[in-house]
């Protein structure tokens, strides 16, 4: 997320505020479910960039299937 807010002083400040906000929200939840491949094969891990305490709540469930189980 920080990549979107790296150009210019005001955008960097807005990026820091956004990060503070979403980290505060993520500290309040029990689990965060990410439909991605499990570690170490995850695609999203670098983009998510959670704090260490929040990272413990993240569960990588694998990609979401395009079909229902009874259609397979």
Q: What is the pTM of this model?
A: 0.62
Residue 44: closest CA among 59, 56, 31: 59
47's torsion region: left (phi>0), alpha (psi -120 to 50) or beta? alpha
pLDDT at 45 over 80: no
Q: Which residue has the higher pLDDT, 23 or 47?
A: 23
State pLDDT tens for residues 3-23. Answer: 667 778 888 888 888 888 988
Beta-carbon neighbour count of residue 36 at 10 Å?
19
Residue 68 CA to residue 72 CA, distance in Å, equals 7
| Most confidently predicted of 19-28, 33-42, 59-68 | 19-28
């Amino acid at each position: 997320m920080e990549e979107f807010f790296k150009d210019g002083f005001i955008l960097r400040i807005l990026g820091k505020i956004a990060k503070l906000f979403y980290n505060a929200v993520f500290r309040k939840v029990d689990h965060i479910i990410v439909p991605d491949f499990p570690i170490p094969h995850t695609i999203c891990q670098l983009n998510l960039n959670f704090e260490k305490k929040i990272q413990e709540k993240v569960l990588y469930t694998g990609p979401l299937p395009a079909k229902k189980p009874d259609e397979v």
